[in-house]
């Protein structure tokens, strides 16, 4: 693994493009890089460190000799090809939801549970983007004062639906400003100057959609605590990239905003952006294009007289720390 052969599955997608850039920027020690995508993308070229690499069609044979396979092509592709890659000797870092809740698959955020990488049996799962952005700042606090209850409201960017989602936001905005109309194709509702509930299936038994339940289940798995009470509301907003999340967190013991700021100021992968005087707090525009999760609006929840609850607001780049960067960090651990 000191100089592995790496394959990117879904290389031409939004996350695939970020994989390519991150491997170059972080000077990842490669013996070879293979770009894999659908047959319609085969033959295209993509730039990597000043050279042109040809995209190959995704096949079982393409994994021969691969040491690490970074998957970001959807759950269906992961379910079809991840086991194939493992049989060829690769360790799969999967960005889909296909294996996250599998008991034999570690669900890893390097700043939170890097030791879990050692337990893999060929596949390591990248958590959902909203889960990563929400709980990475909570982990260092949780270690000192355990989280007992978490209420989250997400403001999720178009990048969560990939390049097609981002294109739809741009096209619908242009049409709206020109006084025209745009028929949505990626999303179920018009996106320009609108927001709507995350477009995943709703469980009729409890009223929560799949995105919301992912945050519940994944947080408990990563923190190793099934007793944490969690509720989430996930909303699509007309922002190109970078998710924002409002968090209300109840801890085991009383805690102050100053304690939270002090802990987060030393937390890896987190940057405190908390300036009440200037009304400057985490924003998608500042979170986009960089790897830190921004945390601010840190204040006592005045609805809890016990002093154990804190409200805060976080933002993180969905394509980077919420997807590609987290996966590349896992590959670096390997």
**Which residues belong to the active site?**
129, 243
What backbone torsions phi and psi does residue 197 show, to the nearest 5 degrees? -60, 140
Tokens 């049996």 -> residue: 121
202: which DSSP letter? B
**Looking at residue 97, what DSSP letter applies?**
S
DSSP assignment of 43-74, as one string?
Answer: T-EEEETTEEEEEEE--GGGGTT-SEEEE-S-
> Phi/psi at 311 (nearest 5 deg)?
-105, 140
Contact 29, 331 (CB under 8 A): no
Which residues have CB under 8 Å from 207's CB, separation 6+?
Answer: none
* Three-state DSSP state, 108: coil
Q: How many CB atoms lie within 10 A of CB 88?
A: 17
Q: How many CB atoms lie within 10 A of CB 248?
A: 17
DSSP string covering 128-195:
PHHHHHHHTTHHHHHHHS-EEEEEEEEEE-GGGGHHHHHHHHHHHHHHHHTT-----SSSSS--TT--
Tell me the CA end-to-end span of the chain in Å, nearest whole number: 7
Q: What are phi and psi of 232, to 5 degrees?
A: -140, 150
């Amino acid at each position: 693994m000191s100089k592995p052969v790496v394959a990117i599955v879904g290389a031409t997608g939004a996350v695939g493009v970020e994989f390519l850039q991150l491997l170059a920027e972080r000077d990842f020690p490669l013996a070879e890089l293979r770009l894999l995508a659908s047959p319609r993308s085969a033959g295209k070229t993509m730039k990597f460190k000043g050279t042109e690499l040809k995209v190959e069609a995704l096949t079982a044979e393409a994994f021969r000799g691969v040491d690490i396979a970074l998957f970001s092509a959807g759950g269906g592709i992961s379910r079809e090809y991840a086991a194939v890659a493992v049989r060829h000797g690769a360790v799969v870092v999967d960005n889909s939801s296909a294996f996250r809740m599998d008991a034999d698959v570690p669900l890893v955020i390097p700043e939170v549970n890097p030791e879990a990488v050692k337990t893999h049996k060929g596949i390591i799962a990248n958590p959902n983007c909203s889960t990563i952005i929400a709980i990475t700042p909570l982990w260092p606090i949780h270690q000192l004062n355990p989280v007992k209850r978490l209420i989250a409201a997400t403001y999720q960017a178009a990048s969560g639906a990939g390049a097609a989602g981002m294109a739809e936001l741009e096209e619908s905005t242009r049409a709206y400003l020109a006084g025209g109309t745009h028929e949505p194709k990626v999303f179920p509702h018009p996106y320009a100057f609108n927001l709507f509930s995350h477009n995943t299936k709703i469980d009729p038994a409890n009223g929560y959609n799949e995105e919301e339940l992912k945050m519940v289940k994944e947080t408990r798995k990563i923190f190793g605590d099934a007793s944490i009470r969690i509720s989430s509301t996930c909303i699509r907003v007309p922002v190109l990239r970078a998710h924002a999340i409002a968090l209300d967190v109840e801890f085991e013991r009383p805690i102050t905003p100053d304690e939270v700021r002090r802990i987060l100021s030393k937390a890896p992968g987190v940057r405190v952006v908390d300036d009440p005087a200037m009304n400057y707090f985490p924003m998608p525009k500042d979170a986009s294009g960089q790897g830190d999760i921004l945390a601010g609006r840190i204040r006592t929840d005045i609805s809890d007289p016990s002093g154990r609850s804190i409200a805060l607001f976080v933002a993180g780049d969905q394509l980077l720390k919420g997807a590609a960067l987290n996966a590349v960090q896992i590959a670096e651990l390997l």
